[in-house]
Structure 1
């Protein structure tokens, strides 16, 4: 075995006969220990998550490509949970912390076994960024292939459905707008295939950003899960990782300040999930990229037009985005704004990749516009600051009706998502209210749950255009309406959100980028004088550890050794 491979320390020479014997016990052969790179396949396949249900088929094609290109494939499992299944109950506390466990577990396996390179298989919300964080931390050759989005379901309320349509329909059912039979029918027809959710939520946003970052082959993000083209691309991915290993094309040559800036631009241009802000901050930290992601969003937002509009911002879903040209066509239209010389996993630059792309489907101006004639002259994500968010908060103008871009209302305060949801369904929220949900941040939650159902219930109750919701928790990428999340510092750490009272006036201004509590500084300090930090909600297990070690949302909600 070549001394140039990391795996040589495991397999080369008579002193490592024991390691070779152990691998031979699984069917590996003498030829597998020659001058060939050992490629780890980090596969998050399971039958818990529809976005990961097809990854075993994808993995087999990756192995085929690795063998064709002269590598040795070694597969291992990675945990993955489904946000949609875990919404609205205690399970959601455990979702964001899994991102750290995923990154840690891949690092541990890759280092323990001295793997020469990695292929990362994932599709969903925290798994994709967790794997990218691991790649950045390890800085070995790495490439990602995602499982692809599911197809949209039966049409309902003017667009193709997905599983989140059920929560909107629940509000309609509660208000007598639809029948129980219609509601039950949606359950069977809204999610017709496996794949990541068909709306443009965190899962598909992060798959798209993996492509923008240069960590997947061009066009990989949006090919539907059930299309054979994804399997062909998986085989090519296996071939490419072997070339990357031989050429020494490591993760940090791709994941750096240039690609992070491109990813921020892309998030703004396609109005991606607000969670992308936090995940990009975490990836940048692991890559030691030397960029402040929050500042990038603040600086680039006003000068980056929104040129893509997909559900929840429109009736079009991810399949329509793919057919409109997907990420390659979007990058082609954005090229004047991009760091076009950023290197990608192909060994070519972003500009070179896009120049080589062929687009089999016609353009769709209802899904993707141009820089010259965009949906909006400003990006679809905004970072807010103010006396209610001294560090930062995040919102999504691309999913907010223009009439709500500046909204002032009276606070209705809840110390948990569960209490807020119950109040909304009980009809206790009125037009003009700002629903405040606190103690749901990384430490206070713990785990920073998504306030997904609250927004869906407001939509179903007909309040999505007359109320706002602010929280130190997170939102799903499918939410729309006037919402602000990731408020930092969080309430549990003594952020101003902790002292808001019912009846206080709050103004959300996504144009000026401010979040203001209409209470004097003196009154704020007086309230803090009587405030006491709450006791931890969890005192054992992984959540207790995460609660102690997690950074603020403004820093990516990461767990850092220092």
Structure 2
């Protein structure tokens, strides 16, 4: 019996069938499995502007395999366009809305299977949350990564433009040069070209077995991406037939695989927010400790932008996620028995693909990694009792251990004004607080201040700490997700201008060098920073959001 039979079959369902006839559906189509095609296409996000083409290919695949596709939409926010203004407060809450809206649509219409078509930022994790929550046979096919741009013979991307703003400020680039650069950094459709959040999550969906091999790296503008979309449409029909569901695929072993690949690739720090939220939907607990435990024993094999010169298109040419997983599996770091959406185990997939590293400068071997530890580190200490996260693969060596002077700001805007005004100097530790899930509210991503610091040439001299979060495009000693956040009474709310802060990334420590007696005195005088929240969505999110250490999900 198909899940959709409850809506279609039987005398009493004549009115339902009448509405399906109104859609132009035939009786033959009603007899076939109904496949929901969740499409986040829009004309706002460059990564989504071509998803109508991907959706058409998916539907072609569904029909070729004997199913009936029914497309429905969800929203999407472009973090790049939302950056450094109040719009960024909406980005993380949109993840919850995306998951909820899909649950509503896919419960109101009892589909037999689902194909998810996301591409950017919070849309990928939002769809993965819905996939595991609904637990209907499902597959994900992203729109694919953008190709990098070219400027004066050099390969560039969106982050190059962000950092260009700082370069103009110090006179190492002219405004005219920046204007020319901004026209060619993002050459077309796709999720921004580096190992930023969207591509990190698309690669990890492949590593988790929830999408077909190639999903994370096949470039957006290619016919190979369209063919993969057709394959995904056909494959969901096989999943329906065999009743293979997302929670059959996402187990504790596949979770460990996903985090291992995360560390090997040097993915965005946002994965530390999204993976716990996703696995929570499968009733699996993923703590920050798991990230650090796996990071300590997983070598970093890739240094993609912003950590290095290569882009996702280079990773694809080098062998993609299968080559990375195969290299990790050879040393016993990957479980090959886990199930995938191909209907075969990961080991069977790799055996069929026979992947190998084709560009060793892009994917290094376990024997000769960029570093012996993974791309992300979890720090703890009196300044982050529940943890903080840093992309250690993108930190300059001289900033791995540093004691600096606190420069305290109550918002991102205040910090950016000071940075752009050249009021931050070498040795400073910029502290941006009241930007967490509750205090922001919405936990804004802060690519503008980190890029400005890099563009000003201070990336090896200045650290940035926040209870907010950073873009996957951030590089430098940018330590985010500090928990508890200031609004929840965290120590970051007690930091004062001129305090000394000790950062020890290898030692996994983040300490405010103020004695306990002084901290207790400050606690007695502390009051939450006053903020007027006009948005009803943000008021709800502020009341319901959990700690960043728990994925910043809304509490049930």
TM range (shorter): over 0.9
* Distance in structure 2 (CA, Å) of the matches to 1:388 and 1:285: 26
* Distance in structure 2 (CA, Å) of the matches to 1:263 and 1:236: 23
- Residue 378 of structure 1 aligns to a residue whose secondary structure is coil
* Distance in structure 1 (CA, Å) of the matches to 2:367 and 2:175: 46
- Residue 66 of structure 1 aligns to a residue whose secondary structure is helix
Matched, 1:216 2:211: yes
> For 1:510-529, what aligned pairs fall within 5 Å after superposition?
510-529=505-524
Matched, 1:132 2:128: yes
Q: 1:29 aligns with which of 9, 26, 30?
A: 26
Deviation at 1:533, TM superposition (A): 2.1
Matched, 1:328 2:322: yes
2:7 aligned partner: 10
Matched, 1:240 2:235: yes
> For 1:13-412, what aligned pairs fall within 5 Å after superposition?
13-34=10-31, 36-155=32-151, 159-289=154-284, 291-335=285-329, 336-357=332-353, 363-412=358-407
Deviation sequence 1:428-473 (CA, Å, 0-9, x none):
0000000000000001000000111101000111111001000000
Deviation at 1:349, TM superposition (A): 1.2
- Residue 394 of structure 1 aligns to a residue whose secondary structure is strand
Q: Is the 8 A contact 1:149 1:224 kept in 2?
A: yes
Point out the more displaced range, 91-100 or 309-318. Answer: 309-318
Deviation at 1:295, TM superposition (A): 1.6
318 and 386 in structure 1: CA distance in 2 versus 1, 3 angstrom threshold: same
Aligned length: 554
* Distance in structure 1 (CA, Å) of the matches to 2:452 and 2:95: 27
* Distance in structure 1 (CA, Å) of the matches to 2:395 and 2:91: 26
Deviation at 1:496, TM superposition (A): 0.3
Deviation at 1:179, TM superposition (A): 1.6
Q: 1:419 aligns with which of 410, 414, 420?
A: 414
> For 1:388-467, what aligned pairs fall within 5 Å after superposition?
388-467=383-462
* Distance in structure 1 (CA, Å) of the matches to 2:526 and 2:51: 49
* Distance in structure 2 (CA, Å) of the matches to 1:358 and 1:332: 9
* Distance in structure 2 (CA, Å) of the matches to 1:402 and 1:45: 41
Deviation at 1:60, TM superposition (A): 0.6
Q: Is the 8 A contact 1:83 1:92 kept in 2?
A: yes
Deviation at 1:362, TM superposition (A): 6.7
- Residue 146 of structure 1 aligns to a residue whose secondary structure is coil
* Distance in structure 1 (CA, Å) of the matches to 2:314 and 2:13: 53
Q: Is the 8 A contact 1:446 1:537 kept in 2?
A: no
* Distance in structure 1 (CA, Å) of the matches to 2:552 and 2:323: 32
- Residue 183 of structure 2 aligns to a residue whose secondary structure is helix
* Distance in structure 1 (CA, Å) of the matches to 2:52 and 2:354: 28
* Distance in structure 2 (CA, Å) of the matches to 1:189 and 1:90: 27
Q: Is the 8 A contact 1:444 1:537 kept in 2?
A: no
Deviation sequence 1:505-542 (CA, Å, 0-9, x none):
11111101111100111111110100012345315411
Q: 2:546 aligns with which of 551, 558, 561?
A: 551
Q: Is the 8 A contact 1:323 1:362 kept in 2?
A: no
* Distance in structure 2 (CA, Å) of the matches to 1:363 and 1:127: 31
2:528 aligned partner: 533
Deviation at 1:159, TM superposition (A): 4.7
Q: Is the 8 A contact 1:393 1:486 kept in 2?
A: yes
Q: Is the 8 A contact 1:160 1:317 kept in 2?
A: no
Deviation at 1:242, TM superposition (A): 0.7
186 and 540 in structure 1: CA distance in 2 versus 1, 3 angstrom threshold: closer
Deviation at 1:164, TM superposition (A): 2.2
* Distance in structure 2 (CA, Å) of the matches to 1:12 and 1:376: 59
* Distance in structure 2 (CA, Å) of the matches to 1:124 and 1:20: 36
* Distance in structure 2 (CA, Å) of the matches to 1:256 and 1:442: 28
Deviation at 1:163, TM superposition (A): 2.0
Unmatched tracts of structure 1, length 5 or more: none
* Distance in structure 2 (CA, Å) of the matches to 1:344 and 1:246: 15
- Residue 510 of structure 2 aligns to a residue whose secondary structure is strand
- Residue 218 of structure 1 aligns to a residue whose secondary structure is coil
103 and 319 in structure 1: CA distance in 2 versus 1, 3 angstrom threshold: same
* Distance in structure 1 (CA, Å) of the matches to 2:363 and 2:406: 37
Deviation sequence 1:278-304 (CA, Å, 0-9, x none):
100101111102x33312112111111
1:493 aligned partner: 488
* Distance in structure 2 (CA, Å) of the matches to 1:560 and 1:338: 32
Deviation sequence 1:20-67 (CA, Å, 0-9, x none):
110111110000121x21110000001100101111101111101101
407 and 159 in structure 1: CA distance in 2 versus 1, 3 angstrom threshold: farther
Q: Is the 8 A contact 1:385 1:393 kept in 2?
A: yes
Deviation at 1:187, TM superposition (A): 1.3
Deviation sequence 1:74-108 (CA, Å, 0-9, x none):
10001001001100111000000000000000011
